Structure 1
Amino acid sequence: MPFEIIQGDITRIQTDAIVNAANPQLQMGGGVCGAIFMAAGSRKLQAACDKLAPIHTGEAVITPGFALPARFVIHTAGPVYSRQSPDESERLLASAYRSSLKLAFEHGCHSIAFPLISSGIYGYPRRDALEVATCAIRGFLEIHDMDVKLVIFNRSDVQIPPGTLSAVDDWLQEHLPESQTIRRLSDTIAMEPLQDSVRLQPSAAPASPFHPDFSTMFGKLDEPFDVYLLKLIDRRGMSDVQVYRKANLDRRLFSKIRSGKGYHPGKRTILALAVALELTLKETEALLERAGYALSPADKFDVVMEYFLEHGPRDIDEINEVLFHYDLPLLGGS
């Protein structure tokens, strides 16, 4: 998918480029920086960096990946967080992401992996660092096609606003069967056929004037999925580009969906489209039905999605942060 948060070791990620949160002197440091040097071959990588040093905060330079799986290492100097100048810290941090992405694009990269820059010893508050990263990456993806991964070492580094987290926790306690509160990750992405699990919503909230009930507007359920989806898009007055970018979908996948050849995407992809189109829960269920899926009351992923479809926000990145917190699969597709 175009942008995703994953937990793992950035030195083992299979992308065209990985990003090193470097110091301006491009010297081998500790933490993620030290791990990248060690995995690449510290002597060779340091020799390459010495030819490019120093750099300014917010700038980026590129070296070979040497022994790493990645072809390139992009080195960028993030800011030391200043409580006295938070706006300047934000500007410099955003510049570090943008400079890295620009350099990756100029070198023909189709994929790149970032750490959460400046969130370690440089003291940038992690929640704020994540928001700056997401905004900078999304701004780039508005113009360019690239697969971007944000690699988190500890899941707790993705800090969810307390109000959101407590609301989702309460929803899960109320709606998820007790025996299902802890499920294996593989279970959370099971695709239930419509005939096996249809969740009735006798008291679903009525659609607002700005979100008409498309399921009654477009007739029978035997209408093909792709035809029904295109009607929803037209009704929203959105372009294809707006839809697939807002849904965190790869352009090629979206082209396959709208090709008219009967292709049915996976359940998570359909839910991502529902979020992008700002569908209500009832409208989302109608869209899922046309591809043979339904939301299951016993599936943690589905119950979390019901919360956001009922209460919002309809923001793919905010939803994915919560899904990541619960170790659930993210929305989007490639």
Structure 2
Amino acid sequence: MAVFVIGSMNIDMFFDVDHFVRAKETLLPDRCEVLPGGKGLNQACACSKAGAKTFMAGKIGSDRKILLDALNQARVDARFVQIDENDMSGRAIIQRDPSGENCILLVPGLNHALECEDFENVLEKIGENDIVLLQNEISNLCVLAKLLKEKGAFVVFNPAPVTDSIPKDLSFVSILVVNEVEIEQLLSKTGDPKKLCEEWLGSYPDSSIVLTLSNHGSMFANRNQMLFMPSFPVNAIDTTGAGDTYIGYFCALLDQGSEIESALQFASAAAALSVTRAGAATSIPERKEVEALIEKSDILCQRANQMV
């Protein structure tokens, strides 16, 4: 079994600021740094660090070294990563404030150069017991969705950012992973997290949903059960990539045959550790660190009626 991540790879440019820049304002950052990122790369690194055999597929440019180094250091198989010497990789311009919150400006670069043929080359290598992990930072997602549905692949989909490029028919999705903002955008309605999960399942009863609730925890729901995973309390310095860390660990535990409760616990603990460090891919903890946090904690998965 393996996890195949088809997604984005970005060079993240971080700027530590006193506050997010406002209209007509010029702001000098306190600190700047350049790090590897992109939802696809982050999630692939998290999958691999959690112990899953992980493949990354996507496109990067002549500025590739920082991205390939990150994949190699996380032990991700990069055989499906294509290099275009005539263009640039994706970019993310990220402001971080003193509380650890961030705002992001995204430049797609070669993430928006993926075509049907690129997808077919990866899909022919995917087995029936493998997991395909997707986000919404690449081009031609509707084409990929059609191919995945025809193949009958097990797909974990993180529809971030929520844009018009997301397929209208999401029946190709086995597990949807979203945060509070994304599920409201996707369903075009607001409401209680439980009700929003039920709304999704009403449309796609054969699927499951994971809803992350920031520092309040996360939920899992399918037609048979609804679970709540409390968050691990930590002092956050940078929330960038926390959701990607959560998703990567969750997929890795599923790939390894773990129960949903265990997958949620590992994902939550990994995300908690990641926000105590700066960066996205560089903040992802190794599995032994996650196991240590879980071992010294009494935080367990609960039935959703125990939500606080």
- TM, length-normalised to structure 1: 0.27
- TM, length-normalised to structure 2: 0.29
Which has the larger helix fraction?
A: 1
User: Which entry has the higher C-alpha Rg, 1 or 2?
Assistant: 1
